Amino acid sequence: MNNSAVWYPFTQHALEPAMRRIASTEGAHLIEEDGERILDAISSWWVITHGHRHPVIMEAIRSATESYDQVIFAEYTHAPAEELAKGLLEIAPAGLAHVFYSDSGSTAVEVALKMALGFFHNANRPRRRICVMEHGYHGDTIGTMSTGERGVFNAAYAPLLFSVDRLPFPEPGREQVTLDAFEAACDTGEVAALLIEPLLLGAGGMKTYPASVLAALKRIAERHETLLIADEVMTGWGRTGSLFACEQAGISPDILCTSKGLTGGALPLAATLCTPAIFEAHLSADRRKTFFHSSSYTANPIACAAALANLAVWNEEPVQERIETLVGRQARHLARFCGDPRFSGVRHAGTVTALDLRVPAGGYLSEVGPRLRAFFRKRQLLIRPLGNVIYLMPPYCASEADLERAYDAIDEAASLFAAGQL
């Protein structure tokens, strides 16, 4: 148990060991006070893309502090936010034309939900239903908890949450069930939007589904004039192999949420991108149609400068080549577990790999989860399984030796568990 006054996230303080202090970061590693190097195999909760302290991004942050701290983002604007918006729209899926800034993935999705409901409200044809996918996770604010999977994460807050329509996850061979369920929901004429994680569900267990399903869902949405919100907070910035996962389905969402890798993981920033129609639904001489959302730190100039530098890294460095190298290496290492009776569901999506350790009781609260974390911790690896689901999401600079060490540790952990020693 920790003696710190800090209340840590996703931490049961009655059970967890003392936190280990990180003195610095570098590349794919966290460095402890004693100099021990920890492989950050999950990119510090999925945010670090190019690697820790990328020099271009760090220099942009230092430079921005010479001119800015925080600037109110109403009545006033600043160059980093304006330039970043232009840069984002240049690389985003076609059709997106406006950028609304916020602070985190959760707030980016909250903004998207409010945009969608406001769009129909201001058009005087209110639609109030939101469709989501089973096992989804969109954040920990009230709106995003409402749209995420119900369970241990949000049971205590159930009285605060609103109802949504949940589509069954498109299991292999049952994809049509998902599509039919969405069609039926849309037939009511009441669905404002489908909120979905494209191709890969993160906290819900690193579940993958084919791009063809995403494309079909978009077609259904278009037929029924239902908006599609792509939650690319985790899947964006190369995680699934392409800059945005939507690209692989050949679709353009009506609203796109991005955060995490937006600044290369260096600083918190989020953006919600939307089509002209959604912006124009809030454009009126009637001030009641204003989009009523903000946060104190909207479009922080230093964070925007970091994101601009991230765009420069993507434009000027061989990032896609690094991603393709990592994808290939991950696939080769993961292949050793295909057909291995100790595991099920061996899968990958771009740079992300996952596999389920066969245990008597699985799920997020599986007792094997903390034991696996402790084992990896002793091997100087930051790997945080989702219960019995072991996954890797390393920065794009992770070396072959880094990956070999991580996969060897997964192999060893599974053998120890099978022998009753873990």
pLDDT of 3 reads: 80
Answer whether residue 179 shows pLDDT above 80. Answer: yes
pTM, full prediction: 0.97
Q: Could you tell me the two tokens for 387?
A: 């219960």
273-294: pLDDT as tens digits: 999 999 999 999 999 999 999 9
Q: What angle do CA 268, 270, 274 make, to 5 degrees?
A: 175
The string of DSSP codes covering 367-382 is THHHHHHHHHHHTTEE
What does the pLDDT average to over 264-273? 98
Please name the helix (run of DSSP H) or strand (run of DSSP E) that holds residue 120, with its range, or none. helix 105-122
* CATH fold label, 58-316: Aspartate Aminotransferase; domain 2 (3.40.640)
Instruction: Reduce the DSSP state of residue 180 to 3 states and report it.
Output: helix
State whether CATH 3.90.1150.10 applies to domain 318-418: yes
pLDDT of 153 reads: 87
Q: Say which residue the tokens 């985790």 belong to.
A: 234
The mean predicted confidence, pLDDT, of the chain is: 97
Q: If we measure between CA atoms, which residue out of 245, 243, 182 comes closest to residue 216?
A: 182
384-402: pLDDT as tens digits: 999 999 999 999 999 999 9
Neighbours of 153 (CB within 10 A): 15
293-307: pLDDT as tens digits: 999 999 999 999 999
Answer whether residue 324 shows pLDDT above 90. Answer: yes
> CA 230, 231, 236, 240: dihedral to nearest 10 degrees?
-80
> What is the widest separation between alpha-carbon atoms in the chain?
71
> In DSSP terms, which residues pair with 39 in a beta bridge?
29, 381
Q: Where are the domains of the chain?
A: 58-316, 318-418
Per cent of the chain over pLDDT 70 is: 100
Per cent of the chain over pLDDT 90 is: 97
Answer whether residue 364 shows pLDDT above 90. Answer: no
What does the pLDDT average to over 170-194? 98
141-162: pLDDT as tens digits: 999 999 999 998 899 999 999 9
165-175: pLDDT as tens digits: 999 999 999 99
Q: What angle do CA 309, 313, 318 make, to 5 degrees?
A: 180
Q: Residue 2 — very low, low, confident or very high, per pLDDT cuts 50/70/90?
A: low
